[in-house]
Amino acid sequence: VDIDWEFPASKTQGENFYQIIKGLRAALDDKATALGQNYKYLLTAALPAGPANYAFLDLAKINQRLDMFN
Protein backbone atom coordinates (compact mmCIF):
# COMPACT_ATOMS: atom_id res chain seq x y z
CA VAL A 1 0.00 0.00 0.00
CA ASP A 2 1.40 3.40 -0.96
CA ILE A 3 0.09 6.56 0.68
CA ASP A 4 0.51 9.90 -1.11
CA TRP A 5 0.75 12.59 1.59
CA GLU A 6 2.57 15.51 0.05
CA PHE A 7 1.20 18.65 1.62
CA PRO A 8 0.96 18.60 5.43
CA ALA A 9 0.03 22.07 6.64
CA SER A 10 0.33 21.72 10.42
CA LYS A 11 1.67 19.59 13.27
CA THR A 12 -1.89 18.29 13.74
CA GLN A 13 -1.98 17.03 10.16
CA GLY A 14 1.42 15.45 10.66
CA GLU A 15 0.20 13.62 13.77
CA ASN A 16 -2.97 12.55 11.96
CA PHE A 17 -0.83 11.12 9.18
CA TYR A 18 1.16 9.14 11.74
CA GLN A 19 -2.04 7.76 13.26
CA ILE A 20 -3.22 6.65 9.79
CA ILE A 21 0.11 4.94 9.12
CA LYS A 22 0.09 3.31 12.56
CA GLY A 23 -3.43 1.94 12.03
CA LEU A 24 -2.68 0.72 8.52
CA ARG A 25 0.51 -1.04 9.65
CA ALA A 26 -1.42 -2.84 12.40
CA ALA A 27 -4.25 -3.80 10.03
CA LEU A 28 -1.87 -5.13 7.38
CA ASP A 29 0.09 -7.12 9.95
CA ASP A 30 -3.13 -8.51 11.46
CA LYS A 31 -4.39 -9.52 8.01
CA ALA A 32 -1.18 -11.36 7.17
CA THR A 33 -1.33 -13.18 10.51
CA ALA A 34 -5.01 -14.07 10.09
CA LEU A 35 -4.31 -15.55 6.66
CA GLY A 36 -1.32 -17.49 7.97
CA GLN A 37 1.02 -15.67 5.62
CA ASN A 38 4.71 -15.66 6.43
CA TYR A 39 5.47 -12.31 4.81
CA LYS A 40 4.83 -8.67 5.54
CA TYR A 41 2.67 -6.44 3.39
CA LEU A 42 4.63 -3.37 2.29
CA LEU A 43 3.52 0.05 3.47
CA THR A 44 5.15 3.02 1.75
CA ALA A 45 4.50 6.75 1.51
CA ALA A 46 5.25 9.62 -0.83
CA LEU A 47 6.11 12.55 1.43
CA PRO A 48 7.02 16.17 0.71
CA ALA A 49 10.59 17.31 0.27
CA GLY A 50 12.24 20.16 2.10
CA PRO A 51 12.78 21.26 5.69
CA ALA A 52 9.66 23.44 5.76
CA ASN A 53 7.54 20.34 5.18
CA TYR A 54 9.56 18.04 7.46
CA ALA A 55 8.77 20.37 10.36
CA PHE A 56 5.22 19.01 10.39
CA LEU A 57 6.21 15.32 10.36
CA ASP A 58 7.79 13.17 13.05
CA LEU A 59 9.94 11.21 10.61
CA ALA A 60 11.46 9.01 13.33
CA LYS A 61 8.02 7.76 14.41
CA ILE A 62 6.79 7.40 10.84
CA ASN A 63 9.93 5.48 9.89
CA GLN A 64 9.10 2.83 12.51
CA ARG A 65 5.84 2.01 10.67
CA LEU A 66 6.76 2.42 6.99
CA ASP A 67 8.80 0.02 4.90
CA MET A 68 9.96 2.76 2.55
CA PHE A 69 9.68 6.48 1.81
CA ASN A 70 9.35 7.51 -1.82
Residues labelled as active-site residues = 6
With CA atoms as reference, report the closest residue to 69 among 48, 39, 51.
48
Q: Where are the beta strands (DSSP E) in the chain?
A: 2-4, 44-46, 68-69
Q: How many CB atoms lie within 10 A of CB 36?
A: 6
